[in-house]
Amino acid sequence: MMKEGEGTKPLLFFKKGVLTLNNIILEMKSITKEFPGVKALDNVNFKVEKGEIHSLVGENGAGKSTLMKILSGVHPYGTYRGDILFEGENCMFQEINQSEAKGIVIIHQELALIPELSVAENVFLGNERAKKGIINWEETTIETDKLINKVGMRVNSSELVQHIGVGQQQLVEIAKALSKQVKLLILDEPTAALNEAESENLLQLLQEFKKNGLTSILISHKLKEVIKVSDHVTVLRDGQTIETLTKGEDLEEDRIIRSMVGRSLSNLYPSRQPKIGDVLLEVKDWTVDHPQIPGKKIANKINFYVKKGEVLGLAGLMGAGRTELMMSIFGQSYGKFQSGKVMKDGKEINVSTVDKAIENGLAYVSENRKEYGLVLDDTIRENVTLANLKEVADGLTINQRKEVSVVEDYREKLRIKAPSIEQKVINLSGGNQQKVVLGKWMFTDPDVLILDEPTRGIDVGAKNEIYKIINRLAESGKSIIVISSELPELLGTCDRIYTLNNGKITADFAVDDANQEKLMTYMTDDRSEAK
Amino acid sequence: MKEFKELISQNIRKFGMIIALVGIVLIFQILTSGILLTPLNITNIIMQNSYIIILAIGMVLVIITGEIDLSVGSVAAFIGAIAGTLMIRWNMPVIPSIIISLLVGALIGAWQGYWVAYVRVPAFIVTLAGMLLFRGLTMVVLSGRTLAPFPREFRFMSSSYMPDFFNGETYNITAIIIGILAIVLFVFNEFRLRKARKKFHQKGLSGPLFLTKVIVISVIIALFTERLAVYAGIPYILLILIALIAGYTFFMQKTIPGRHVYAVGGNEKAAQLSGVKSRKIKFWVYVNMGVLAALAGLIFAGRLNAATPQAGNLFELDAIAAAVIGGASLTGGIGTAIGAVIGALIMGVLNNGMSLLGVGIDWQQAIKGLVLLGAVTFDIINKKRNA
Ligand SMILES: Nc1ncnc2c1ncn2[C@@H]1O[C@H](COP(=O)(O)OP(=O)(O)OP(=O)(O)O)[C@@H](O)[C@H]1O
Ligand SMILES: [Mg+2]
């Protein structure tokens, strides 16, 4: 494993660093955590060395977030079994404040920022620069500006968080962590919602911090980036530690996948014989205004079509208007409709409300599952059937037998990991929540399925499953539209790809003519008209 | 035993309320040296709280959609005034008067629902305005005076009992028969549900525990019937209440619109994107509340045998408290009709018990306030522990 000399180097950067045995900064021993009906962690052992980037990987529901929530005191001492040694000290955290006092800071899978507050206010929330209870705004601003520089943000500290992009928001979280004298930084899927440039930026930042002696734990499903930045990778499966891999020795993608899913995965993107038929859906001169700013076009005379049995990709940078375009088509759920029409099978259809869109065979799987996809307090069963209750009802009365059998069916098909379909979705792991949303829309049996970032936060095994499902649906003659920020995913699954920029379609590629560079060019190109 | 513990800890929300109700009943039974559970007093508790129970059922729906209604007390008073005007001043027959009153309730609900659901004025403001508006209109309609008495047939609904068709002596035999029927229905239904659950491979109680539950509840129904039968039999109002509870429970758990109510309250955006017409749902929930507030107003007026400007004062707070004590969450998405009913009974038994003990209105208010705070705190702590 680790050679003696290597690990000691970062110590030099710790002025007050206490020398502990073997440079182990953190050791979690035989951690076991049970929720009603689920053993989330079963005797997990986890060791992190000082000054390294240590990644934690595993399938959805493997227990990664739970392990980190225990470490940071979200699940307090006494609700789990096992010991936590941090800097040689036995820790029994009752709440987050206590772990933060020790320098352990966690950035959760779901961002915890307050949209209505400014960047500066968010950075120092709960940790205000104040004297006798009166906030010193000058100091707050100066300190925030310093932190903003450090994390390489390009926004003003007085900007409201709701007005900055997700990538920048993620950086605000990191600035917030840095303001707390952090020694161990935990990032739970920080890049899930970021595009490639933003992810790159964030990972570089981590590596810089590492040079200054900061230890980080990174949870991610993007194995390429994990391999790039990590010194060690620990794999969890079904709540158990499988193994810890070391950079330069046994750290390889295949190996990770094998120990994550218990078998090797020969082809992430399963192949499909495209059987493409006639044009099914056609959107003509679609123009939509921004909901608040009149005259600002979020979709500007957009024309596109998708054929039966075709998987269509939409590529674009964050803010290009992909989500907005699709939501405006799906029941005019976004923006102010100006003009344009939607044709299906050559006939104009009415998509002015969501239920009309659903009735006409459209389905839209949102990229933001918590806000737009799920009723968190409801069960898996209630969520899956919500968009198509008619199908499991006799008249107005819900037929429980039908409902249960339908939902059980989807649970199996999608391999949703939960003790039963009566589990509330708020208690599911992120990836499994995504599968529930997917199940909900598959159950409406749509002709056109719009998938907005369908594999965000999903493990490789499940990704593969979802691609297979996409293929199966396409083979059965349905049209699929995939929005994704991961270009390899688009190139791997689609038959045809549009690039979008500034509310306009800039190019239309058959997949065989496309590659990442070409797509990138058109995604950033303002002037070019559709070719 | 282990299962029992797990059961309690998982269902403490549901069981907590029932345990609290039983606890409060026992405490007052002892403190009042047995007066609380005398046949007369039990009958009284039901009659006195009937209108709060009806309001609580409507309120729990409003709260599940994530809204609130502060106007129900004023609406109840206003409907009392309307009914009084129709029947006492204008001598209109009872049945048409009741129908008109309920329709006016529906219109009032539609009025408020329109502002809340379609114009998106915050419900707190709309119904605060409604509270002032309808209290004011009540005084206008009554010119500040009290109208009395109502015709005898009108009071029938709120203060009469089912006659005994069998002329029992100490016991009202009709009541006993209905009680037995209720038990049979209950047991039959439980076994049917259990069988269904088995079929769907859903986890249910183990055999002995299931039997205990069925027996305990059957015994409670039996004792309750016995008390009623010793006094005057089954009040008509109890039949109305049972019908409402059963109807709303069915509606909320088994029908599409019922499911939509929960979805809208749990996550309105997600519900909308799933094709749920959230505005329409909210609108109709207010219409429903208006009708139930009207019904409560009629029953209250009937019991009082008068329409007064002060009727229904603070009813809204009792109804909200009942729904919340019964497990409804003010952030929406969570709550049940039966919970609201139990919440209303907890408040009712508290009121009644303290009155029997001679506690003044002043202290009664204070204690009720603390109970509300305590109940909600308990619920929140409990939620955190399960997280
Ligand atoms: N509060 C909770 N109540 C009940 N079960 C829970 C709760 N939190 C997590 N679980 C369960 O514990 C298991 C581990 O969940 P966890 O969130 O740690 O997974 P994860 O590895 O982070 O997955 P993902 O990659 O999808 O985020 C899952 O089966 C999940 O359903
Ligand atoms: Mg997670």
Q: How confident is the model at residue B8 (pLDDT cuts 50, 70, 90)?
A: low
Do residues A281 and A243 both lie within one domain? no
A60 CA to middle of ligand 2, Å?
Answer: 7
pLDDT, position A10 = 42
Separation of CA B17 and ligand 1 centre (Å): 30
Tens of pLDDT, residue by residue over B321-363, are: 999 999 898 889 999 999 999 999 999 999 999 999 999 889 9
Same domain, yes or no: A327 and A472: yes
pLDDT, greater one: A75 or B379: A75
Torsion of CA A461, A466, A470, A471, to 10 degrees: 20
Q: What is the pLDDT of residues B180-233, one digit of tens each?
A: 999 999 999 888 888 877 776 666 667 787 888 889 889 988 999 998 998 888
Find the A464 Cα to ligand 1 centroid distance in Å.
21
Which range, A174-183, A427-436, B276-285, B362-371, is most confident? B276-285
Looking up residue A403, the CATH number of its domain turns out to be: 1.10.8
pLDDT of residue B9: 62
Is A175:A150 a contact under the CB 8 Å cutoff? yes
The pLDDT mean for chain A works out to 87
Q: Same domain for A327 and A466?
A: yes
CATH of the domain at A511: 3.40.50.300
Do A268 and A357 lie in a common domain? yes
Q: Is A268 exposed, middle or buried (0-12, 13-18, 19+ CB in 10 A)?
A: middle
* Tokens 């269904």 sit on residue: B196
What is the phi/psi pair of residue B79, to 5°? -65, -40
Buried b (16+ CB within 10 A) or exposed e, A129-157: beeeeeeeeeebbebbeebbeebebebeb
Question: Which backbone phi and psi does A215 adopt, to 5 degrees?
Answer: -95, 135
Asked if residue A3 belongs to a domain, the reply is no
Nearest CA to ligand 1 atom 17: A429
Q: Which pLDDT belongs to residue A461?
A: 84
Longest dimension (CA), chain A: 74
Beta-bridge partner residues of A512:
none
Mark whether A467 and A527 lie in a shared domain: yes
Indicate whether residue A428 lines ligand 1 (CB < 6 A).
yes
Please report, as a single letter, which amino acid is at residue A206. L
A125 assigned to some structural domain? no
pLDDT in tens, B70-80: 999 999 999 99
Q: pLDDT digit string (tens) for A308-339?
A: 999 999 998 877 888 889 999 998 888 889 89
Phi, psi of A65 (to 5 degrees): -60, -40
Task: Starting from the CA of residue A417, give the closest ligand.
Answer: 1
What domain range is A291 assigned to? 263-361+449-531
The residue-averaged pLDDT of B299-313 equals: 94
Quick: pLDDT tens for A477-521. 999 999 998 889 999 999 999 999 888 899 999 999 999 889 988
Asked if A389 and B262 come within 8 Å (Cβ–Cβ), the reply is no
Quote the pLDDT of residue B379.
72
Q: Measured between CB atoms, does B280 come within 8 Å of chain A? A: no
Cα–Cα distance measured from residue B322 to residue A283, given in angstroms and rounded to the nearest whole number: 52
Q: How far apart are CA B74 and CA B311, in angstroms?
A: 8
Tell me whether the omega of the peptide bond preceding residue B149 falls within 30 degrees of 0, making it cis: yes
**Burial class of A431 by CB neighbour count within 10 A (0 to 12, 13 to 18, 19+):** buried
Look at residue A526 and tell me whether its pLDDT is greater than 80: no
Q: Determine whether the shortest distance from the Cβ of A217 to ligand 1 is under 6 A.
A: no
Verify that A255 and A396 share a domain, yes or no: no
Q: Is the pLDDT confidence value at A2 over 90? A: no
Closest-CA distance of chain A to residue B255, Å: 4
Shared domain check, A377 and A295 = no
Q: Which of A445, A466, A500 is the last residue of a domain?
A: A445
At residue A199's C-alpha, the angle toward residues A193 and A200, to 5°, is: 170
**pLDDT, greater one: A37 or A450:** A450
Q: Is residue A1 part of a domain?
A: no
The answer to whether the beta carbons of residues B202 and B259 sit under 8 Å apart is: no
pLDDT for the residue A18: 42
CB proximity A445 to B under 8 Å:
no
Q: On the CB side of B322, how many CA atoms lie within 13 Å of its CA?
A: 34
How far B93 CA sits from the closest chain A CA (Å)?
A: 36
Contact criterion met (CB < 8 Å) for A354 and B196: no
Q: Looking at the CA of A62, which ligand is closest?
A: 1
Residue A393 shares a structural domain with residue A347: no
Q: Please report which confidence band the pLDDT of residue B319 belongs to, taking 50, 70 and 90 as the band edges.
A: very high
In a domain, A202, yes or no: no
Helix (H, G, I), strand (E, B) or coil at A334: coil
Residue A474 has a pLDDT of: 93
pLDDT of residue A7: 41
Nearest CA in chain A to B274: A387
From the list A355, A374, A397, the residue facing B270 with the nearest CB is A374
Domain boundary among A413, A445, A477: A445
Whether residues A54 and A94 share a domain: the answer is: yes
Task: Tell which of A95, A350, A368, A386 to mutate to test the B interface (max B CBs under 10 Å).
Answer: A386
Domain count, chain A: 3
The minimal CB distance from A420 to the residues B196, B203, B275 is found for: B203
Whether residue A466 sits in one domain with residue A354: yes
Please tell me the distance between residue B382's alpha carbon and the centre of ligand 2 in angstroms: 24
Answer yes or no: do A317 and A375 share one domain: no
CB A48 within 8 Å of CB A28: no
What's the B218 CA to ligand 2 centre distance in angstroms? Answer: 46
Tens digit of each residue's pLDDT (9 = 90 or more) over A351-381: 999 989 999 999 999 888 888 899 999 999 9
Contact A389 B271 (CB under 8 A): no
Measured between alpha carbons, how far is A490 from A369 in angstroms, rounded to an integer? 20
CB contact under 8 A, B263 and A420: no
**pLDDT given at position A417:** 87
- For the record, the structure tokens of B332 come out as 């929406």
Do A373 and B271 make contact, defined as CB atoms within 8 angstroms?
Answer: no
Cα distances (Å, whole numbers) of residue B202 to A386, A420, B190:
20, 8, 15
A145 belongs to a structural domain: no
Task: Read off the pLDDT band of B7 (50, 70, 90).
Answer: low
User: What is the tens place of the pLDDT at every residue in B253-285?
Assistant: 889 999 999 999 999 999 999 989 999 999 999
Residue among B10, B257, B270 minimizing CB distance to A396 = B257
β-pairing, A362-365 vs A448-452, is: parallel
Kindly tell me if the per-residue pLDDT of B16 is higher than 80: no
Report CB contact under 8 Å: B277, A355.
yes
Under DSSP, the state recorded for A424 is: B
A65 lines ligand 1 (CB under 6 A): yes
Q: What is the pLDDT of residue A503?
A: 87
Which uninterrupted H or E stretch holds B264?
A: helix B256-266
A512 CB-contact burial (10 Å; exposed 0-12 / middle 13-18 / buried 19+) = exposed
pLDDT tens, A56-94? Answer: 999 888 999 999 999 999 999 999 999 999 998 999 999
What is the best residue among A38, A219, A423, A432 to mutate for testing ligand 1's pocket, by most ligand atoms within 8 Å of CB? Answer: A38
The pLDDT score that the predictor gives to residue A22 is 61
Residues in chain B: 387
Alpha helices in A155-278 (DSSP H): 166-178, 196-211, 223-229, 253-261
Chosen for mutation from A377, A382, A421, A426 (greatest number of chain B CBs closer than 10 Å) is: A377
- The pLDDT of residue B5: 65
Please report whether residue A472 resides in a domain: yes
- For residues B385 and B126, what is the distance between their CA atoms, to the nearest angstrom? 36
Q: Minimal Cα–Cα distance from A409 to chain B, Å? A: 12
pLDDT score at A8: 42
List C-alpha distances in Å: B50 to A64, A122, A225, B289.
52, 50, 64, 15
Residues 6+ apart with CB under 8 A from A519: A315, A487, A490, A491, A497, A499, A509
The answer to whether residue A225 is domain-embedded is: yes
Whole-number percent of chain A with pLDDT over 70: 95
Q: For B129-174, write each residue's pLDDT tens digit.
A: 999 999 999 999 999 899 989 999 999 888 888 888 888 788 888 8
pLDDT at A402 over 80: yes
For ligand 1, atom 24: residue with the closest CA? A60
Q: Mutate which of B192, B274, B384 to test chain A, going by most A C-beta atoms within 10 A?
A: B274
Per-residue pLDDT at B216: 86
CB pairs under 8 A between A and B: 86
Q: Are residues A413 and A503 in the same domain?
A: no
Q: Given this model, what pLDDT does residue B12 score?
A: 61
- Can you give the pLDDT at residue B232? 85
Instruction: Please tell me which of the candidates B196, B202, B275 has its beta carbon nearest to residue A358.
Output: B275
Give me ligand 1 centre to Cα A66, in Å.
6
CA pair distance A505, A527, nearest whole angstrom: 11
- pTM: predicted TM-score of the whole model, two decimal places: 0.82
Residues 6+ positions from A137 with CB-CB distance below 8 Å:
none
pLDDT band at A6 (very low <50, low <70, confident <90, very high): very low
Looking at A382, A414, A445, the residue that finishes a domain is: A445
Any long-range contacts for A34-39 (C-beta under 8 Å, 24+ apart)? Answer: A35/A427, A36/A419, A36/B6, A36/B10, A36/B386, A37/A419, A37/A420, A37/A423, A38/A418, A38/A419, A39/A239
A6 part of a folded domain: no
Query: Average pLDDT in the A444-452 region?
Result: 94
